[in-house]
């Protein structure tokens, strides 16, 4: 493999590493989706001011007691992990079961995506270890890294789409007033950025594997032509 092509492969590897970091950040934070209302103060209706994550839903509450309204007792964040307790949906058990199943799939898909990207980073790193990997295996390393990255990115995209469906289903069965405002949090946006980075890095490795294969084929043909010229005494050496 040409040294220039070998050096350029660092760039898509960095893309995949950044994708893994972004998706991991989204996995561990709680700002995927938020609900807020200016008509109901947080102190009176904390369920109208919530933010959702994959594992928890958090809302802002005020401490109780004689000093609750003083600046010495600021509001604090309360988080619950049970989906059936945190949803503001109807009491229909079938709806809650559907929400739980979608949320479980999203969580598993995001974890699997992060695991695939981590594996892609490991495989990519092995490819730069010249003492461990021979030049003939670089095509396999590049193609494997690209496949893992693309699969991880697509799996994360599927999880994000299902999360959108989860929130839409919950909204249709919501008991909250129509005046509440809803939106997507920074954790959700960061996860989409991770999807883009993973797909760019993955397809770049596919293209590099293609170039490496062409290079090996060209080298093989050149050697065969050289042997053929020497066989019939057509070598240019000595002229």
Domain definitions of the chain by residue range: 3-31+91-220
For residue 8, report the phi and psi dihedrals to the nearest 5 degrees: -65, -25
DSSP tag of 81: -
How far, in Å, CA of 88 to CA of 47, rounded? 8
More confident residue, 106 or 224: 106
Provide the CATH number for the domain formed by 3-31+91-220 in this structure: 1.20.140.150
pLDDT tens digits along 78-111 = 777 755 444 454 446 777 788 888 888 999 999 9
pTM: 0.76
Structure confidence at residue 130 (pLDDT): 60
Structure confidence at residue 157 (pLDDT): 97
Structure confidence at residue 112 (pLDDT): 96
pLDDT tens digits along 167-208 = 888 878 776 666 677 889 999 999 999 999 999 999 999 998
């Amino acid at each position: 493999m040409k040294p220039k092509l070998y050096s350029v492969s660092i760039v898509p590897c960095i893309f995949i590493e950044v994708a893994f970091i972004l998706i991991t950040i989204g996995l561990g934070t709680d700002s995927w989706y938020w609900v807020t209302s200016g008509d109901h103060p947080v102190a009176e209706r904390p369920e109208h001011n919530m933010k959702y994550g994959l594992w928890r839903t958090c809302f802002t509450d005020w401490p109780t007691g004689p000093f609750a309204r003083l600046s010495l007792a600021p509001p604090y964040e309360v988080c619950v992990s049970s989906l059936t307790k945190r949803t503001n949906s109807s009491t229909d058990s079938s709806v809650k079961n559907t929400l739980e199943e979608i949320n479980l799939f999203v969580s598993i898909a995001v974890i699997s995506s992060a695991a695939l990207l981590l594996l892609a980073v490991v495989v990519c790193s092995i490819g730069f270890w010249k003492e461990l990997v021979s030049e003939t295996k670089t095509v396999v390393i590049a193609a494997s890294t690209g496949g893992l990255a693309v699969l991880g990115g697509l799996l994360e995209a599927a999880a994000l789409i299902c999360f959108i469906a989860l929130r839409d289903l919950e909204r249709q069965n919501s008991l909250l007033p129509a005046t509440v405002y809803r939106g997507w949090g920074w954790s959700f946006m960061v996860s989409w950025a991770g999807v883009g980075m993973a797909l760019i890095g993955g397809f770049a490795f596919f293209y590099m594997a293609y170039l490496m294969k062409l290079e090996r084929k060209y080298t093989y043909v050149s050697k065969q032509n050289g042997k053929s010229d020497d066989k019939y005494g057509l070598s240019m050496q000595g002229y």
